[in-house]
A and B are shown apart, each in its own frame.
Chain A
Amino acid sequence: MAAPPRRSLFVLLAGLLVFASLATLATAIYEDQVGLADWHQKYIGKVKQAVYHSQKSGRRRVVVLTEENVISSLDLRSGDIFWRHVIDNNDPLHQLSLSHGKYVLTLSSGGTILRAWNLRDGQMIWETNLRTSTASDPQLHVMSNNKVAKDNLVLVSAGRWIYAVSSIDGAISWEKEFSIDGLEIKRILQSPENDVVYALGLAGSSKLALYHLSAKTGEILKDIQESLPGGLCGETVLGSDNVLVALDKARSSLLLIEFMGERISYNKVHVSDLVQDLSGSFKIQSLSNGVISLQTSSSISLLKLKGTDGLEVLQRFDQPAAVSDSLTITEKDEAFAVVQHLGSEIEFIVKFTSDLSSEIIREKVNIDQNRGNVEKVFLNSYIRTDKSHGFRALVVMEDHSLLLIQQGDVVWSREDGLASIVDVTTSELPVEKDGVSVADVEHNLFEWLKGHMLKLKGTLMLANADEVAAIQALRLKSSEKNKMTRDHNGFRKLLVVLTKAGKVMALHTGDGRVIWSNLLPSLRASRFGGMPSALRICQWQVPHHSVMRENPSVLVVGKSGAESSTPGVFSILDSYSGEELNSMKLDHSVVQIIPLTLKDSSEQRLHLIVDSNSNAHLYPKSPDALNVFFHEMSNLYFYSVDIQANVIKGYSLQKSCGLNLGDEYCFSMKELWSIIFPSDSERIAISETRKMNEVVHTQAKIIGDHDVMYKYLSKNLVFVATLSPKAAGDIGSALPEEASLVAYLIDAVTGRILHRVTHHGAQGPVHAVLSENWVVYHYFNLRAHRFEMAVIEIYDESRADNKDVMKLILGKHNLSAPITSYARPEVAVKSQSFFFTHSVNAMAVTQTAKGITSKQLLIGTIGDQVLALDKRYLDPRRSVNPTQQEKEEGIIPLTDSLPIIPQSFVTHSHQVEALRGIVSIPAKLESTTLVFTYGVDLFYTQLAPSRTYDSLTDEFSYALLLITIAVLVGAIIVTWIWSEKKELRDKWR
């Protein structure tokens, strides 16, 4: 009687085993798994120019140019991207225009490259290279209604060149170089009859030149030159058809220059006469019909031009506001928009330039306070259902987000600040308060069973298309991954990102939604004058034991200005809510931020901030922190890499800093060591160190012949690569003989150079990653004309005699002896280099909770994808014919190039445009690591470098298991009954 249950147990176990083996079979993900654990978000960056499609085309689209060097077409109804091009950063875009209603023209690279894109699908139609001296402010002018030629000419001015380019095919129809030295063309105008082009230029600071050119041939019809006393600063706007408004050199007065007459005449107006409380710089912007807006840091004034006689203030907005360019509505009417802040709302005002006293629209729009001030407005009109003119506007906010305002409402918004992430950290989510039962998550048993039946069908390939879609939807909907609580596997976290605009945002790893955002007041530009810059975000408090009830917090460090000596700013935020807990303006500058491993009693992490006067400041400033710090101070060392001076220096700390003796949180630095690279032959290209939170599972590596190699695991290992000065430029700029790369492994405590190796004929850019006891770096080999990746592994020889088991048993080993950096290390180095097909944008390595899982290199390729390359391929012990023992150990036979397996692209079909950084965050589950990559786009995924050996996948069909068990149990019972019956029958026989 006892046999059947035991048998069922065995069957159950066997079933489990079968399932477990099935579950671990997947290597790459399948098509239907895309989007389950990963998400991809597309952004464009802060919009600096926008042009709308013409009214007639009927399409509600806008083409924008952004500070991230992106040109994109957006849907005006939803804000979605129709098409987008991310242009390389060494080809900066300056101007954007539409031509013929079907081409988008862009001018880039200082006015040397003109491109036309198809408005509909974004394909490039033509590209023209113009030979000009690159100018800082090139101009693009599309001639309207040209009756001279059949097609519209595009005029490009850069420096002292003017080009006329056909907008149909990009052919240059004429070019003109003006003879005056240092001339810079500022404005290009058309005569009303379209046969004369006026070019207004400035030579030096005081000479104004006006040329009349024939629109057909470019021939100079007339030129007038005039010297202006006092000089100009170069900023000009066109007041009206014949008056140019220019800022003088002192930036205190405006020159009204009448240029259409026989000679140039001018008049000077002091700005202080117009605006009383003028402080700092101001900006002028031209609207049409002689209306000019003058924007100071605190107000906007609308000025009306009275010929060259002077200016008259018509209206003044004292709230922070922005003014749009004028928009032609009818033949005589031109409208413009002013957006100003009123408390928590913004006010959207549209006026005609012909009549400034009346307003067409005045709407109040509620807006999120965390978006800051309005920076730019782009006005657009549409025809309402009642045939009147309606207005809407794209508004660019201080946090770089883009909003569409229409009918007093925000129609859509885009968080484009996320296109310029500066730094990333993570935070755990709150712990779930009470246990939630399965029944709460799955609404009822029937639904649950139905879902699993569907999955079962999918597994057995019985599902039809509808059901497959239903399964997909079910998976995506499963709220499990988007919950706001900590999960058992540690997959759910908050990614806390700091953007260039000084905004901190928390993204949920489940679907990438923004949980909270906070535009830090200390990092806001307005009213302070200087441009604050965000530097870094780090974890400030990660509660574990004594302060478990408190929320974790993050620290944001910034600078209040561009120079290195400007004082720093400090801000501490709650990781769960985004609330600013504390904000400080530091009385010293910030050059280096060193998070220490020490924590005070409230588990706030100690930070050292090094200022430009070579003093180190301790934070948090509490006696408790100071106590902890003093205890460890003699063992604290740090280093600085000065790329300008080509020097690496190491320091220790000394009590009391030189300046103010009273400040006990300030320490002076003692220089302990220095490495001076000879500037004529080596320049520092990159320095890399190990991640502070990296966990190494084993110190030893057992090789094929049962021998042990001890890894040299020092947290103080620094990798530095230097390039010969010529090799730092573009590929092709140096000969192989002139180019070389020197790789250094340096101990940061003593400055000891552990290893130094020269690669002749190697050229930058260099990318490197340091982990455990190895470093991998990527460079270009000029001799082989290929990219290369080299690996250096460093092993500790001094512990090589620890292998004796007897010694271990008798306790005569030195494994537990403290290691000091002052002992001379005996290291052995193994290295190898391999060819690699791609150039690289960024490099990182996977990190897991315990460091057991094998590592993968995450390589951001030039195609803006992320490739996961097994570290085993970069093993210096690979040989052409590995022995049987080595094969058993898992050594891959040596090949000259590293394989690129298409399935190992972790970004699968997505591109992370303008990829800048890759961050790997360990999950609680050892096999899995979370990977977040950022550039203009964001991408997040989960990776299991050695497959998920420690868990069942989400795919695992519990229903199938249950049904199998039930069927088996049923079968057992049936067979048992049968056998009982048979036995009975036999006994009766």
Chain B
Amino acid sequence: MAPPRRALLVLAALLFLSLSLAAAAAFRSDELLLNDDDEFEGVGARPSAPSPAAAPAVSSSRRRSADAPLPGAGESNAVQFTLEHDLGGGKGFVPAGTFSARLKTLAHVTQTLTKLRFTRNDLTEDDKVAFKKLLQEDGFYTIRLPSNVLDTTKKHNVVSSIKARCIPRDSLDEHIVIHMDGVNILAVNYGSVGGCQYPRPMKLPSKWTFSSYTILKTAEQAPRTPSFADLLIEADNGLGEVMKPPEKSFWAKYWMYIIPLGLIVMNAVTAAANIPEEAAGQGQPGAQRAPAAGRRR
């Protein structure tokens, strides 16, 4: 009777395990979003493989064509938004790159972006001149993104700036952190990849291409406030066995008093033993004095 039941139990456990595994697999992307803040694909115009197409329009169309064959129904899910930059000189913002991502609707209505890709447009000669000027002036290089990736018509933009001199290393290294809340872009943090030393030295990049790293970030959830009320109730009911510290032995408790006491006693004993000796050894003056005192009184 017992072995089959146990086998059944094992089977059930296995089934449950596999189910939960399957569930975990099904929710994989979900968990990824929650835990993995820095989901990114740092695909960009790498210095080693600069994109052959120079015109920005070509680059963006290429991205779209690349996206299209992959998922069958993915066309409606794909989202694109542009990054614009301001190279100073009063020219204002001009498109500088394109983000493409896939929009994912989670179980509870909220939409999130995944698989973010970023393509930088190559800098034109004018841009390079403007950038050089910016470097000389120690000016700000400013970028902006639409505040909502779906509705770009609202004209609300999140802006981020950095001193232009922080960017150049070998190439132009940039690090973009996009803080998302559903489909809203809350903020974008633009920075250099490494540190930015101060005072900032004037330095021209050896390659006029951007190497970009982008990170999508969503909010962390605060852990629940620990509550010990349940534990206390449990303790009151006697369910939670309160471990009492084992009773210490007499010696363990009082050794610090006993040892000095013993030392004192020993000292006293030796002292007591010594007195007669002393009296015997150098007894002459003492013996002389003592009777004298005795006589006086």
Q: A residues engaging B (CB < 8 A)?
A: 634, 649, 652, 670-678, 681-682, 742-743, 750-753, 755-760, 781, 784, 788, 790, 817-820, 822-824, 831, 833-835, 880, 894-896, 989
Contacts and interface: CB of A to CB of B under 8 A. Distances in A.
10 cross-chain pairs, A with B, having the tightest CB-CB distances, nearest first: A823-B195, A822-B196, A678-B184, A675-B187, A672-B161, A820-B198, A758-B219, A833-B225, A676-B147, A818-B198
Interface stretch (B9-17, B22-30, B174-182): B174-182
Nearest to A652: B140
Contacts of A672: 140, 142, 159-161
Given A674-B157, A681-B182, A758 B189 contact: no
B134 interface: no
A896 B162 CA distance: 43
Contact of B192 (A670, A671, A784, A824): A824
B62 interface: no
Contacts, number: 131
B192 A751 contact: no
B197 A896 contact: no
Contact of A676 (B140, B156, B198, B220): B156
B186 A788 contact: no
Given A634-B138, A678-B186, A753 B179 contact: yes
B254 interface: no
B164 to A, nearest CB: 11
Given A756-B217, A760-B221, A896-B228, A824 B175 contact: yes
**Interface range on chain B (Cβ under 8 Å from partner):** 35 or more
B189 A750 contact: yes
Given A674-B158, A823-B195, A752 B189 contact: yes
Contacts of B186: 675-678, 753
Contact of B191 (A652, A750, A784): A750
B292 interface: yes
Given A753-B179, A753-B189, A896-B228, A824 B219 contact: no
Contacts of A822: 162-163, 166, 191-192, 196, 198
30 contacts: A672-B142, A672-B160, A673-B160, A674-B158, A675-B179, A676-B157, A676-B184, A676-B185, A678-B182, A678-B184, A750-B189, A752-B177, A753-B186, A753-B217, A756-B179, A756-B219, A760-B221, A784-B227, A788-B225, A820-B195, A822-B162, A822-B163, A822-B191, A823-B192, A823-B195, A824-B193, A833-B225, A896-B226, A896-B227, A896-B228
A129 to B, nearest CB: 36
Contacts of A880: 226
Nearest to A824: B191
Contacts of A634: 138
A820 B197 contact: yes
Contacts of B289: 989
A871 B187 CA distance: 32
Residue among A681, A752, A989 with most chain B CB within 10 A: A752
A781 B226 CA distance: 13
Contacts of A894: 226
Nearest to A829: B220
Contacts of A824: 175, 191-195
A630 to B, nearest CB: 15
B222 interface: yes
Given A750-B191, A896-B228, A758 B222 contact: yes
B229 interface: yes
B187 A674 contact: yes
Contacts of B217: 753, 756
Contacts of A896: 225-229
Interface string B225-239: 111110000000000
Nearest to A674: B159
Nearest to A635: B198
A757 B177 CA distance: 16
Contacts of A681: 181-182, 184
Contacts of A649: 159
Contacts of A752: 177, 189, 191
A790 B226 contact: no
Contact of A823 (B182, B196, B219, B228): B196
Interface string B94-123: 000000000000000000000000000000
A682 B181 contact: yes
Contacts of A817: 197
B160 A750 contact: yes
A242 B226 CA distance: 71
A83 B181 CA distance: 53
Contacts of B226: 880, 894, 896
Interface of B: 138, 140, 142, 147-148, 156-163, 166, 175, 177, 179, 181-182, 184-187, 189, 191-199, 217, 219-223, 225-229, 289, 292-293
Contacts of A788: 225
A351 to B, nearest CB: 65
B24 to A, nearest CB: 23
B189 A820 contact: no
B221 A757 contact: yes
Contacts of B159: 649, 671-674, 751
A760 B191 CA distance: 31
Contacts of A743: 222
A879 to B, nearest CB: 10
A35 to B, nearest CB: 39
A823 B175 CA distance: 11
Contacts of A682: 181
Given A822-B166, A895-B228, 15 more contacts: A675-B158, A678-B184, A678-B186, A750-B161, A750-B162, A751-B159, A751-B189, A755-B220, A757-B220, A758-B219, A758-B222, A784-B225, A820-B196, A822-B163, A835-B225
A782 to B, nearest CB: 12
Nearest to A989: B292
Contacts of A673: 158-161, 187
Given A753-B187, A756-B219, A756-B220, A678 B181 contact: yes
Nearest to B226: A896
B162 to A, nearest CB: 6
Residue among B158, B187, B222, B226 with the highest chain A CB neighbour number at 10 A: B222
B222 A831 contact: yes
B150 to A, nearest CB: 12
Nearest to B196: A822
A682 B157 CA distance: 17
Contacts of A670: 140
A772 B196 CA distance: 24
A511 B175 CA distance: 58
B158 A676 contact: yes
A326 B203 CA distance: 84
Contacts of B292: 989
Contacts of A676: 147, 156-158, 184-187
A540 B110 CA distance: 51
A757 B219 CA distance: 5
A522 B175 CA distance: 51
A79 B141 CA distance: 65
B282 to A, nearest CB: 18
A725 B293 CA distance: 102
B222 A833 contact: yes
A742 B219 CA distance: 8
Contacts of A742: 219
Contacts of B195: 820, 823-824
B140 A781 contact: no
Contacts of A678: 147-148, 181-182, 184, 186
Contacts of B223: 831, 833
A833 B158 CA distance: 31
A736 to B, nearest CB: 12
Interface centre among B184, B199, B219 (most CB of A within 10 A): B219
Contacts of B163: 822
B136 to A, nearest CB: 14
Most buried by B among A672, A743, A756, A788: A756
Nearest to A762: B222
